[in-house]
Amino acid sequence: TVKIKINGIEVEAPKNSTILTAAKSIGINIPTLCHLNIGSIGFINNHASCRMCVVEVNGNENLYPSCETKVQEGMEIITNSTELMHVRKTVLELLLSNHPKECLTCSKSGECELQTLAQEFKIKDIRFEGEQSTYRIDNSPAIIRDIDKCIMCRRCETMCNSIQTCNILHAVNRGFESVVAPTHEKDLEDTGCTFCGQCVAVCPVGALHERDYTWDVVEALANKKKKVIVQVAPAVRVALGEEFGLEPGTDVTGKIVSALRMMGFDYVFDTNFAADLTIMEEATELKKRVEGYLAKDPDVKLPILTSCCPAWVKFIEHNYPDMLDIPSSAKSPQQMFSVVAKEIWAKDMGVDRNDLVVVSVMPCLAKKYEASREEFSKNGNPDTDISISTRELAELIKQKGFNFTNLPDSEFDAPYGTSSGAADIFGRTGGVIEAATRTAYEWITGNELEKVDFEQLRGLEGIRIAEVPELQIEGSAFRIGIAHGLGAARELLDKIKSGEEVVHAIEIMACKGGCIGGGGQPYHHGNFEIIKKRFEGIQAIDNGKELRKSHENPYIKQLYEKHLGEPMSHKAHELLHTKYFA
């Protein structure tokens, strides 16, 4: 360690730490804008481009950005002199001078870090008038890039390239013209962008945001000719409460159901039901592939990869086109739910599929893109009509003026409202494969699984390799690889491709933490503790349920008896499985 003084206070700081972290360790806040450090996932954005965090060092005339300047023995640092306050105010005024003044209508309003700083510094008028840029807006089904609002903090670039390894976003052009954009300034839709939405999650301003479908929902609900139903994803229920002041991880399932019913949805269903359905198909496929592998069938490949994360699916389609025979062919729960609703439920109810609107509430932006994929539609009518994020649901609830935290708890509607704890854990990393293992174990061994908790599959390390000794394959334990974050996924897949790592099954989720860390969740502003609390919240729901194995869900059994026959039957194949495209 080294001894330094910050604002006259003696501090002992680790040798390689920055002034910013040293100050933070004793509760001194230095304002930052471009800087973001999410240590637990290895994300650090240190372009030192905004100059908000400058400090005085040893009375020196030069000012130093505290986010990248390392502490040195004997340093005397001032973080809050009047001169520094003036410098920071000027930095803000310069940033605001060419920033669109659209705060009233900006999607990030209330969450924008530039707006927050402008308020903290009481900026009432801007002394400088800058030239306004007029880039076209890039409008994909999932993400909108409004680059006039870009402040060149480069956080999105760090996320996309260092953590997700998608390499879509780069600084292009020079000087005033410089922006962060895909190569050749293409639209996101024309690139290998996975729509993971993690760039949106770290953008401090409104330059990157979701495509908002809240008014589409309002209009569908107002249309008397339509039946409108909704499904709610596992991870939404432990995060939505944050928008209403509740602790991250608080389970608000019952309140969500009440709110959706009060909004006028005809039926409020649960994506979790379809997660149980996914396990029926995926565990069957796993069992068949294990059997084929043991019988040395040359057409059968292991490992099997989970396929419910649409950003991951797009990632493998773009980056590993030679490995497309490995993912499970099972559709995601969102898509299984919607196709069952339109092809089975609607028929039972005597509703034409064109008069049925299926809305999904997802923690994810890639789900909007998944809903728009052509193979998930029939004669131009999509299975999932509208996908909104957790944030968009919060907006709808606020618009309606509901007192969310005081709403009573209600139950989902039958028959697609009951789910096992195995479905809940889909929302966190490791959960899909744990859910599949609970079922596959019983189906492969014929024994009852008494302890459903596979602790070794849980955790937040980027890549985890775990064994399930209860399940033996050719005399060795069933071996599972788990990765979250696309960079970790790439690392794991490369090891498998090269033969360095051998596993029987793999779960990949594109976002850190899994869906609980999705790009459509309430903004975490770099605080990964929030995601840890959501993780615990999800686990608590699973722990609290009687029903913890997907194949024991009575409504799932009923769906197979009445409509689908067996898992992977002809009918199940037609409705619940899909193909991937290079």
Which residues does the annotation mark as catalytic? 282, 285, 308, 328, 367, 370, 375, 515
Listing DSSP states for 50-93 in one string gives S-TTEEEETT-SSEEETTTPBP-TT-EEES--HHHHHHHHHHHH
**Closest separation between CB of residue 145 and ligand SF4, Å?**
9
Task: Give φ, ψ of 490 to 5 degrees.
Answer: -60, -45
Site for ligand HC0 in 334-353 (CB under 6 A): 334
Q: Which residues contact 238 (CB under 8 A, 6 or more apart)?
A: 248, 249, 250, 251, 252, 427, 516, 534, 537, 538, 541
**What is the pattern of x (binds ligand HC0, CB under 6 A) and - over residues 500-539?**
--------------xx--x---------------------
Which residue, 333 or 520, has its beta carbon nearer to ligand SF4? 520
C-alpha–C-alpha distance, residues 60 and 42, integer Å: 33
CA-to-CA separations, 562 to 22, 344, 555, 566, in angstroms, rounded: 64, 10, 10, 10
**CA end-to-end distance (rounded Å), the chain:** 52
C-alpha–C-alpha distance, residues 486 and 580, integer Å: 18
Could you say which of ligand SF4, ligand HC0, none residue 307 binds, taking C-beta under 5 to 8 angstroms by partner kind?
none
Type and span of the H or E element at 508:
strand 505-509
Tokens representing 520 are 């459509």
Which range in 200-208, 230-238, 290-298, 456-464 contacts ligand HC0 by CB under 6 A?
Answer: 230-238
Q: Which residue's CB comes closest to ligand HC0?
A: 515
Could you say which of ligand HC0, ligand SF4, none residue 364 binds, taking C-beta under 5 to 8 angstroms by partner kind?
ligand HC0
Could you say which of ligand SF4, ligand HC0, none residue 197 binds, taking C-beta under 5 to 8 angstroms by partner kind?
ligand SF4
**Closest separation between CB of residue 154 and ligand SF4, Å?**
12
Q: Which residues contact 528 (CB under 8 A, 6 or more apart)?
A: 38, 39, 40, 41, 512, 513
Listing DSSP states for 496-558 in one string gives HHHTSS--SEEEEESSTTSGGG-TTSPP-TT-THHHHHHHHHHHHHHHT-S---GGG-HHHHH
Q: How far is CA 72 from the centre of its chain?
A: 39
Which range in 3-11, 159-167, 332-340, 450-458 contacts ligand SF4 by CB under 6 A?
Answer: 159-167
Site residue total, ligand SF4 (CB under 6 A): 14
- Counting contacts by CB under 6 A, is residue 179 touching ligand SF4? no
**Closest separation between CB of residue 144 and ligand SF4, Å?**
11
**Closest separation between CB of residue 209 and ligand HC0, Å?**
18
C-alpha–C-alpha distance, residues 150 and 34, integer Å: 11
Near ligand SF4 by CB under 6 A: residue from 50, 166, 252, 279: 166
Site for ligand HC0 in 292-311 (CB under 6 A): 308-309
C-alpha–C-alpha distance, residues 519 and 402, integer Å: 25
- Residue pair 422/233 in contact by the 8 Å Cβ criterion: no
Could you say which of ligand SF4, ligand HC0, none residue 397 binds, taking C-beta under 5 to 8 angstroms by partner kind?
none
C-alpha–C-alpha distance, residues 72 and 123, integer Å: 34
Listing DSSP states for 383-397 in one string gives SS-EEEEHHHHHHHH
Identity at 489, one-letter amino acid code: A
In the chain, how long is the greatest CA-to-CA distance? 80
Could you say which of ligand HC0, ligand SF4, none residue 193 binds, taking C-beta under 5 to 8 angstroms by partner kind?
ligand SF4
Which range in 16-24, 179-187, 357-365, 477-485 contacts ligand HC0 by CB under 6 A?
Answer: 357-365
C-alpha–C-alpha distance, residues 30 and 37, integer Å: 14
C-alpha–C-alpha distance, residues 463 and 482, integer Å: 6
Site for ligand SF4 in 188-247 (CB under 6 A): 193-199
Which residue, 202 or 433, has its beta carbon nearer to ligand SF4? 202
Phi-psi region of 115 (alpha: psi -120 to 50; beta: other; left: phi over 0): alpha
Near ligand HC0 by CB under 6 A: residue from 45, 69, 158, 332: 332
Site for ligand HC0 in 404-443 (CB under 6 A): 426-427, 432
Identity at 60, one-letter amino acid code: N
Whats the size of the chain, residue-wise?
Answer: 582
- Tell the residue number behind the tokens 């390799």, with chain if given: 465
Type and span of the H or E element at 465:
strand 463-473
Site for ligand SF4 in 127-156 (CB under 6 A): 143
**Closest separation between CB of residue 24 and ligand HC0, Å?**
32
Site residue total, ligand HC0 (CB under 6 A): 20
Peptide bond into 363 cis (omega under 30): no
Task: Give φ, ψ of 50 to 5 degrees.
Answer: -90, -25
Near ligand HC0 by CB under 6 A: residue from 363, 430, 462, 487: 363
- Tell the residue number behind the tokens 């502003």, with chain if given: 525
Which residue, 205 or 556, has its beta carbon nearer to ligand SF4? 205
- Residue pair 96/127 in contact by the 8 Å Cβ criterion: no
Near ligand HC0 by CB under 6 A: residue from 364, 365, 422, 575: 364
Closest CA to 93 of 64, 62, 67, 129: 129
**Closest separation between CB of residue 169 and ligand SF4, Å?**
5
Could you say which of ligand SF4, ligand HC0, none residue 196 binds, taking C-beta under 5 to 8 angstroms by partner kind?
ligand SF4
Could you say which of ligand HC0, ligand SF4, none residue 235 binds, taking C-beta under 5 to 8 angstroms by partner kind?
ligand HC0
Near ligand HC0 by CB under 6 A: residue from 91, 257, 362, 564: 362
Which range in 162-170, 272-280, 412-420, 448-456 contacts ligand SF4 by CB under 6 A?
Answer: 162-170
**Closest separation between CB of residue 367 and ligand HC0, Å?**
5
**Closest separation between CB of residue 129 and ligand HC0, Å?**
43
Tokens representing 246 are 């509740």
Which range in 12-20, 164-172, 380-388, 451-459 contacts ligand SF4 by CB under 6 A?
Answer: 164-172
Near ligand SF4 by CB under 6 A: residue from 19, 92, 169, 556: 169
Residues near ligand SF4, by CB under 6 A:
143, 159-160, 164, 166, 168-169, 193-199
Residues near ligand HC0, by CB under 6 A:
233-235, 271, 275, 308-309, 332-334, 362-364, 367, 426-427, 432, 514-515, 518
